[in-house]
Chain A
């Protein structure tokens, strides 16, 4: 088979960094291959895709040198963030943008647009639909439609489902599978469960951007498992391996209610978004909140934090929550995007922030912050700006900073979102430790493994209503049954 894309002896360095990201790197991909690039965050996978498409150095100016770069004649690129793929406000206009670039005659455009949308399974009454009104999965499928419009033979996919919920993820990979049959696929992806069955070759990179393994998926998963573990990469069976080494959690049986809700409504503007009829949260529980995107999970948490207007009975520790002078004494909140929570210029100050507001003495602060830095493995970065941390470090810092007052209840909005295996387990362990000390955890997640192995209770929210309140095991069984039906 002929090579369709590749690079030889690539050297590349981002300005401002000391070492080369990729050094004497060579790769060759043949026509029709379905390749998965695996590696820890920061190993240069996304960069490599951009080099293979010529986006580096043509569009993004990064100093690089290579003996030979083979850019395919026609290629399409699917990016990670569904919100930054598009430059036009409407579905039809976005695909038309590609057709305009290819100088397709105007009167043929409508026909093409409907055709491409049909291929990715998107159907609208009117193709002039605002992109803003689509779900994440639909947006990514629209992005695939614009790639189809490019008539691309080679598709580069850079974690296209990292920001999607399970339904969206499934939709996107089904579509890729369908349209990718006769094409060459080069995929970078963390969540490999859905990808693995249509991949035939895996290339494994390590922290330093060096290829440590290259072969069929069978070879990789049997012969190079230790590398996958070492680099903290997701692989089939990673959970089973992790659980085997885990000490079993302490069960707390104290049934002291900490949060009580009765006929509790949360409003966004004038609209009632969430209604909880009756719910008691007990101390020491680990509650996972499940539901589709837009069902009202985040709205509910924001309502609990008094950030949105609420009505009905809401008690914390037998006191009216709205009369409490400081709700933040009871609740800590960790947002989905950690960056939004950072208010200072260094990791140390970030954790010390709330303590300083509480007028702790500087001695006490230093002691407390140091313990937390140690516990969250952040000591070497104490003086760094929070924005300069990696994804996983930012997430850990946001949890550390939010929980510094050791509030009895911790609310988290998808804390393991977009994290690699190593970081996910690190966060879960921290949470487990806190729970062992009596903290109550309420956490939004889409990850069934967390539900199964960490949670003590499952709440399912559908269209703003609590439709299921049960033990994790019951939930898993019901899910299994509904899948079989």
Chain B
């Protein structure tokens, strides 16, 4: 199947998924409070390193997935760069008013957005959903009812993709090009959404019955096929981020890229 990617197992794959999940969330929250652009750039370098060297995916795929990072960077920085407030004008053209302050704030936001994206992708590239949910059940006491619902839903995604393709063909054969503009768009949405939804609902209902036919609900003491524990790799990841944090702090003080320490107060 084209939806199943092959990759090399690395130590990142062996980390406890719940731990990885919580660590990434914690980093997200921490990064929101980082206002020093020098520090932010260093964190970006740290995450990019993890992304390119330790996810175990081939270079070509990694570069391809990296393209949207650029988009994230551009979209999250430009609005601030073009329209943000500031004193020291660098460029002025109609509504667009770039100042030194807005430029740096924009870049800072862009890099932050990118770091978020990279960490998120690192997480999803190195975590099998099934193991994540087993771990959530075992370590974070998620109810099996929800965990298995998610796992069943993930199974439906490739089936839905195939269905979308068939539907596109069928509509084309019927000559269903639809009008132009908003009305055409609305009709297109309707033509796709209703059959897809009706199929999905029916399918979900059938899977639910099949699961209960396999005695899913009347269980209190279920066992687990996968036992997810902790390992030295969890410590390794923690150390990696502590290391990146310390180095980033050190480098931002001793070898700053910009003469700005806080994007909130510039000039």
Contacts and interface: CB of A to CB of B under 8 A. Distances in A.
B221 A339 contact: no
A38 B171 CA distance: 36
Given A106-B225, A339-B195, A387-B198, A333 B214 contact: no
A98 interface: yes
A51 interface: no
B180 interface: no
Interface string A308-340: 000000000000000000001000010101011
Contacts of B199: 339
Contacts of B148: 87, 97
Nearest to B152: A87
A354 B207 CA distance: 36
Nearest to A83: B159
A60 B195 contact: no
Interface in A365-417: 387, 401-402
Interface in B68-118: none
A150 interface: yes
B155 A87 contact: yes
B223 A99 contact: yes
Interface stretch (B50-58, B162-170, B237-245): B162-170
A223 to B, nearest CB: 35
A161 to B, nearest CB: 17
Contact of A335 (B166, B176, B214): B166
B172 A101 contact: no
B4 A86 contact: no
B198 A339 contact: yes
A485 interface: no
A106 B155 contact: no
A55 B212 contact: yes
Nearest to A358: B175
Given A100-B225, A328-B173, A353-B174, A340 B216 contact: no
B222 interface: yes
A305 interface: yes
A468 interface: no
A87 B151 contact: yes
A215 interface: no
Given A60-B209, A146-B214, A83 B203 contact: yes
A276 interface: no
Interface string A295-310: 0000000100101000
Contact of B215 (A98, A105, A353): A98
B173 A333 contact: yes
A98 B210 CA distance: 11
Nearest to B167: A340
A482 interface: no
Contacts of B155: 86-89, 131
Contact of A302 (B169, B198, B206, B212): B169
A253 interface: no
A286 B224 CA distance: 55
B231 interface: no
B206 A79 contact: yes
Contacts of B253: none
Nearest to A335: B170
B246 to A, nearest CB: 40
Given A106-B223, A343-B176, A88 B130 contact: yes
A350 B154 CA distance: 34
B214 to A, nearest CB: 5
Given A87-B210, A357-B175, A93 B130 contact: yes
A250 interface: no
A86 B130 CA distance: 14
B210 A86 contact: yes
A340 B170 contact: yes
A103 B222 contact: yes
B208 interface: yes
Given A132-B1, A307-B173, A101 B214 contact: yes
B227 interface: yes
Nearest to A353: B174
Contact of B195 (A58, A79, A130, A340): A340
A341 interface: yes
Contacts of A342: 195
B213 interface: yes
Contact of B211 (A58, A87, A132): A87
Interface in A28-75: 50, 53, 55, 58-60
B213 A77 contact: yes
Contacts of B171: 343
Nearest to A81: B206
Given A83-B203, A105-B223, A59 B208 contact: yes
B161 to A, nearest CB: 11
A84 B4 contact: no
Q: Please indicate which of the listed interface residues A104, A307, A402 has the most CB atoms of chain B within 10 Å of its own CB.
A: A307
Interface in A98-138: 98-106, 109, 130-133
A455 interface: no
A333 B166 CA distance: 12
Contacts of A172: none
B130 A328 contact: no
A86 B174 CA distance: 33
A132 B152 CA distance: 13
A346 interface: no
Nearest to B155: A89
Contacts of B151: 87-89
B31 interface: no
A132 B4 CA distance: 10
A96 interface: yes
Contact of A103 (B173, B213, B221, B225): B221
Q: Please indicate which of the listed interface residues B3, B207, B217, B219 has the most CB atoms of chain A within 10 Å of its own CB.
A: B207
Interface string B153-193: 01100110001001101111111100000000000000100
Contacts of B195: 339-340, 342
A94 B176 CA distance: 40
B173 A85 contact: no
A458 B151 CA distance: 44
A339 B166 CA distance: 11
| 6 smallest beta-carbon distances between A and B, as pairs | A96-B225, A87-B152, A84-B206, A77-B213, A59-B212, A340-B170
Interface of B: 1, 3-4, 130, 148, 151-152, 154-155, 158-159, 163, 166-167, 169-176, 191, 195, 198-199, 203, 206-217, 219, 221-225, 227
12 contacts: A83-B203, A87-B155, A88-B155, A100-B224, A101-B222, A106-B225, A333-B173, A340-B166, A340-B170, A343-B176, A387-B198, A401-B174
